[in-house]
């Protein structure tokens, strides 16, 4: 069946559809901790999108690289924190499309682990051949981007700028598509009433999912865990605006502001700093399901998912699904959090 998504340039990068797997052993472990009824638990494996360690950005990059190629770009410029999964996947996507990549990484996270500024995603960025520029966390982002774009143009290059997290309306198309993919998997499994929970930061994943839900016109409901900003209301407003733009691109009805649901209780001190609940969630899911999460996004997202389940938030539902958005290389950057030797 064709959808309005088919009319956008798209460079194939992802292994799709990603699996939807049941988490029976996690459910058993949680049942021992709560008297509340638990729905069936599933995990949507977007860590298995296949590009250089996988993750959610691969879906966005199919559309972003598609647009870059259509515009004749030869270099992709993007940005994020030092341990950005998005930057690593952008470097890989650029390589796969025959483009160069420049990663402007802001040193914003005050994490002092010994591997943070040499391993994890940063190591993979180097292996992928990216031109990595680490800048101070308080640098003026607009001025830094303008200088990099001007420098590349002066060198005769045609750069294409990808915003943080790939979270433009075009990037979010990847998650409108993911929502339709998940909807079809739930239909095939005969599951009608479900909630989808995931970690949200730059917001393109959530915006795309919300737009996809408007296009589909029925569930699953989406509930995100804020792992990024202390000002959750402003974050939700920004995501709603992006969801409206994405919905307009695919000719779907505009989402209501209430469609952007953010749980603020699991961020901890700030973005990128570990929490005890994150550590427990990473270890529990690894030890019950053999699935590796990450310390910055999916670990906190899973901590939120587990807290909601234990509290009975989803008790009346048939199924609760966690969207695994990737990030596993981040474990190596935070080795002190997990190493017991
Ligand atoms: C592993 C992982 N999960 C979730 C997210 C959040 O996605 P978004 O930025 O679209 O909100 C990111 C963003 O970098 C990520 O790397």
Answer yes or no: is pLDDT of 341 > 70. Answer: no
Q: Which atom of ligand 1 is nearest to the CA of 165?
A: 9
Strand partners, 320: 41, 195
What is the percent of the chain where pLDDT is above 70? 99
How far is the centre of ligand 1, averaged over its atoms, from the C-alpha of 312 (Å)? 26
Ligand 1 atom nearest to CA at 172: 10
> Would you call 16 exposed, middle or buried from its count of C-beta atoms within 10 A (0-12, 13-18, 19+)?
middle
**Ligand 1 mutation pick, 105, 202, 271, max ligand atoms within 8 A of CB:** 202
pTM: predicted TM-score of the whole model, two decimal places: 0.98
Report CA(202)–ligand 1 centroid distance (Å). Answer: 7
User: CA-CA distance, 145 to 156, in Å (whole number)?
Assistant: 17
> Which fold, 72-166?
Rossmann fold (3.40.50)
User: Which residue in the list 84, 172, 201, 202 is annotated as catalytic?
Assistant: 84
Looking only at Cα atoms, what is the longest distance across the chain?
A: 65
Q: What is the pLDDT of residues 32-63, one digit of tens each?
A: 999 999 999 999 999 999 999 999 999 999 99
CA atoms within 13 A on the CB side of 53: 28
Q: How far is the CA of 277 from the centre of ligand 1 (A)?
A: 19
What is the Cα–Cα distance from 11 to 317, expressed in whole angstroms?
A: 37
Query: Of all atoms in ligand 1, which is nearest to the CA of residue 86?
Result: 14
Burial of 268-289, coded b for 16+ CB within 10 Å and e otherwise, reads beebbbbbebbbebbebbeebb
Sign, CA dihedral 142-148-153-158, equals: negative
| Ordered strands of the 75-81 beta sheet | 131-136, 100-107, 75-81, 159-162
- Split at pLDDT 50, 70, 90, the class of 4 is confident
Retrieve residue 239's tokens. 């995501």
Q: Which residues of the chain form CATH 3.40.50.1100?
A: 4-55+168-338, 72-166
Q: How far is ligand 1, taken at its centre, from the CA of residue 35, in Å? A: 32
- CATH class of the domain defined by 4-55+168-338: alpha beta
- Tell me whether strands 159-162 and 131-136 are parallel, antiparallel or unpaired: unpaired
In 3D space, the residue among 215, 242, 188, 163 whose CA is nearest the CA of residue 6 turns out to be 215
Q: Which pLDDT score, from 0 to 100, does residue 244 have?
A: 98
Residues with CB under 6 A from ligand 1: 55-56, 85-86, 165, 167, 199-206, 294, 297-298, 325-327
| Mean pLDDT value of segment 84-96 | 98
Q: Give the model's confidence band at 1: pLDDT under 50 very low, under 70 low, under 90 confident, else very high.
A: low
pLDDT number for residue 331? 97
In the residue annotation, 232 being an active-site residue is answered as no
Query: Would you mind telling me the total number of residues written for the chain in this entry?
Result: 341
Query: pLDDT tens for residues 190-248?
Result: 999 999 999 999 999 999 999 999 999 999 999 999 999 999 999 999 999 999 999 99
């Amino acid at each position: 069946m064709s959808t309005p998504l088919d009319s956008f340039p798209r460079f194939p990068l992802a292994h799709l559809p990603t699996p939807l797997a049941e988490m029976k052993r996690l459910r058993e472990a949680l049942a021992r901790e709560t008297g509340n009824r638990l729905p069936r638990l599933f995990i949507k494996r977007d860590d298995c999108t296949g590009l250089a360690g996988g993750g959610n950005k691969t879906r966005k990059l199919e559309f972003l690289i598609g647009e870059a190629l259509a515009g004749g770009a030869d270099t992709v410029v993007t940005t994020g924190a030092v341990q950005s999964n998005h930057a690593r996947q952008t470097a890989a996507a650029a390589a796969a499309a025959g483009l160069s990549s420049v990663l402007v990484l802001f040193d914003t996270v005050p994490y002092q682990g010994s591997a943070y500024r040499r391993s994890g995603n940063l190591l993979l960025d180097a292996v992928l051949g990216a031109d990595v520029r680490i800048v101070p966390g308080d640098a003026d982002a607009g001025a830094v981007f303008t200088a990099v774009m001007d420098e590349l143009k002066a060198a005769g290059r045609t750069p294409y700028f990808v915003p943080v997290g790939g979270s433009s309306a075009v990037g979010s198309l990847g998650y409108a598509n993911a929502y339709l993919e998940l909807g079809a998997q739930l239909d095939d499994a005969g599951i009608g009433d479900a909630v989808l929970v995931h970690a949200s930061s730059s917001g393109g994943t959530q915006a795309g999912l919300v737009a996809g839900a408007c296009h589909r016109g029925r569930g699953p409901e989406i509930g995100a865990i804020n792992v990024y900003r202390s000002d959750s209301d402003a974050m939700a407003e920004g995501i709603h605006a992006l969801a409206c733009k994405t919905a307009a691109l695919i000719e779907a009805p505009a989402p209501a502001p209430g469609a952007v649901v953010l749980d603020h209780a699991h961020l901890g001190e700030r973005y990128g700093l570990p929490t005890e609940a994150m550590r427990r969630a990473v270890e529990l899911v690894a030890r019950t399901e053999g699935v590796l999460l990450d310390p910055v996004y999916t670990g906190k997202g899973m901590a939120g998912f587990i807290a909601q389940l234990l509290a009975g938030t989803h008790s009346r539902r048939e199924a609760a699904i966690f969207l695994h958005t990737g990030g596993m290389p981040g474990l190596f950057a935070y080795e002190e959090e997990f190493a017991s030797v």
